[in-house]
Chain A
Amino acid sequence: MSASVLFDAPGPKARRRHLLLSVLAGLVLLGLVVIALQRLGERGELEADRWTAMFTASAWEYTFLPGIWSTLKAAGVAIVLALAFGLVFGMGRVSHHRVIRWASGAVVEFFRGIPVLIMMIAFFYFLAYRGIFEPATNPFVAVVAALTLYNGAVIAELVRSGVGSLPGGQAEAGLSIGLTPAQTMRTIQLPQAITMMLPSLISQLVVVLKDSALGAIITYPELLRSARNLAAGGNTLQPLVMAAVIFIVINFALSLLAGLVERRLAKRGSATD
Chain B
Amino acid sequence: MRELFEQFDVWAAFWMTIKLSLWSALWALVLGTLLAIMRVGPVRILNVVGSAYVNVVRNTPLTLVVLFSLTVLGTRLGIQIADQNSPTFLTDEAVRWAIFGLSVYHAAFVCEALRSGVNTVPVGQAEAARSIGLGFGQSLRHIVLPQAFRGAVAPLASVAIALIKNTTVATIIGVAQTSYFMAEAIEFRPDLIWELFALIALFFLAITLPIGVGLTSLSRKVAVKR
Contacts and interface: CB of A to CB of B under 8 A. Distances in A.
A5 B144 contact: yes
B183 interface: yes
A114 B64 contact: no
Contact of B60 (A22, A29, A122, A244): A244
A98 interface: no
Contacts of A217: 63, 169, 171-172
A255 to B, nearest CB: 7
A4 B42 CA distance: 10
A39 B126 CA distance: 46
Contact of B197 (A39, A45, A118): A118
Contacts of A110: 201, 205
A117 B200 contact: no
Contact of B64 (A213, A236, A255): A213
A18 B47 CA distance: 12
Nearest to A216: B63
B77 interface: yes
Interface in A221-252: 224, 228, 231, 236-237, 240, 243-244, 247-248, 251-252
A84 to B, nearest CB: 23
A121 interface: yes
Contacts of A231: 71
Contacts of B204: 113-115, 118
Nearest to A251: B59
Interface stretch (A6-14, A161-169, A173-181): A6-14
A247 B168 contact: no
B44 interface: yes
Contact of B42 (A7, A29, A206, A248): A7
B179 A113 contact: no
B144 A6 contact: yes
Given A8-B130, A117-B169, A240 B59 contact: no
Contacts of B44: 18, 22
A250 B77 CA distance: 28
A117 B118 CA distance: 33
A22 B61 contact: no
Contacts of B193: 122, 125-126, 129
A97 interface: no
Given A5-B123, A118-B204, A240 B171 contact: no
A6 B140 contact: yes
Interface in B115-170: 118-119, 121-123, 125-126, 130, 136, 140, 144, 161, 165-166, 168-169
B67 A224 contact: yes
B45 A121 contact: no
For the complex of A and B, list the 7 residue pairs with the smallest distance between their C-beta atoms, beginning with the closest. Answer: A213-B61, A251-B59, A115-B165, A210-B61, A213-B63, A117-B168, A115-B168
Interface of A: 3-8, 10, 14, 18, 21-22, 25-26, 29, 39-40, 43, 45, 109-110, 113-118, 121-122, 125-126, 129, 206, 209-214, 216-217, 224, 228, 231, 236-237, 240, 243-244, 247-248, 251-252, 255
Given A5-B123, A121-B179, A121-B182, 14 more contacts: A5-B122, A5-B144, A7-B136, A21-B46, A113-B205, A113-B208, A118-B204, A121-B183, A210-B59, A210-B60, A231-B71, A237-B77, A240-B64, A251-B58
8 contacts: A25-B49, A114-B165, A115-B168, A118-B204, A228-B67, A236-B75, A240-B72, A247-B60
